[in-house]
Amino acid sequence: MPISAGDQSLDPEGPEGEDDMASTFRFAVLSDLHIDREEDSSSWQMAKSAFRAAGRAKADHIVVVGDTFDCSTAMDRDQGKLRKFLAKEGLWDRDRLTIVVGNHDIFHTAHRGSRRHRATELAKATQADGQQMYDSICAWAGELVLAEDRCATGDLFPLSKDLGTARLTCLDTTESSTVESSNASRAKDELPPLPRVADGRRHVLAIHNAPVRARASVADSLQGYTGGFSKKHFRRLQRFADDARVDAIVCGHIHDNGDDGYAGQRDGGHPVHLMGRSGDLHGIPPVIGLLDVPATGKLRWSEVELWLLGCQPGRPDGLSSLNWR
């Protein structure tokens, strides 16, 4: 659960008494920022606050696990502005940032703006080319990826970055028509096996959709998109997590609170951390996740509300309380 001012105050560098923190690699996990500067200017301010909060938390690497933008129109319009901001902050760099594609990045399904705007965007969904928007955001986010990070030819995803202590693997879980999607729900789509990555490093898997089972929906019929994993592909992701010796899965898409998990075959399962709450949607206080990955031993996950790092406009400054577990 997100922490409050009344919880135990801890140093952002880790819990007091922990040894060997110098060799621990820290991921800051952001998701569902839903940026649309034109329809909701506060979304832009919130996104900047979230990235700056990651900096204040002394993250070694930031991973945005999907839905950076509120809809494909906003993605097309705002990606240049966001790139400029991130470059100014010193974050537009392969070793500092990875961006995973989410469904709102490539489809016309807006959360923000007026009812008229949302209806207009939804009407576009029946005619828009999701693959074209997917290619657009992948070209943009692909600036943060080297050739040796790519696992497939002709597509950004899957990708796998060697970051030293940790390896970060990212999969596309957006729709059935994109290349190498791990989340296809249509039976006719027979996709090649996911890449096996097991090199002895601590391994974090970043995806947008939380690994929960789902059936095809109206959105799937209209756009080839599904909000969860069909039975076949849920098992496929599970097998990949086992084979690749994944230590943790970070994901977004779900905007409510709490962690979830699924039963993996190795070591009693893989921790799954949900972080779909960085964008101040639906009245939920915006948070970022922090995943500390030591060379050996237990990984540590925490969540921190932006105002506790002095990064949310209009909220008190000066607190750094983290909820470690």
Q: Which domains does the chain have, with CATH numbers?
A: 22-309 (3.60.21.10)
pLDDT in tens, the chain (325 residues): 333 222 222 234 444 444 455 589 999 999 999 999 999 999 999 999 999 999 999 999 999 999 999 999 999 999 999 999 999 999 999 999 999 998 889 888 888 989 999 888 888 877 766 778 888 999 999 999 999 999 876 788 889 999 998 999 998 877 554 434 444 333 344 445 566 666 778 999 999 887 766 655 555 555 555 556 666 667 777 777 777 788 999 988 877 654 444 434 444 467 788 888 888 887 788 899 999 999 989 999 999 888 765 555 544 333 233 333 2
Phi/psi at 55 (nearest 5 deg)?
-65, -40
Contact predicate 226/217, CB 8 Å: yes
Q: Which amino acid belongs to residue 224? A: G
CA distances to 253, 270, 293, 296 from 299, rounded to whole Å, are 23, 11, 5, 8
CA distance 79 to 101: 13
Which secondary-structure segment (H or E) carries 202?
A: strand 202-206
Cis peptide bond upstream of 158, omega within 30: yes
Token output for 140: 């943009």
Contact predicate 113/125, CB 8 Å: no
Written as one string, the DSSP assignment of 270-304 is EEEEE---SS--TTPPPEEEEEEE-SSS--EEEEE
Contact predicate 232/189, CB 8 Å: no
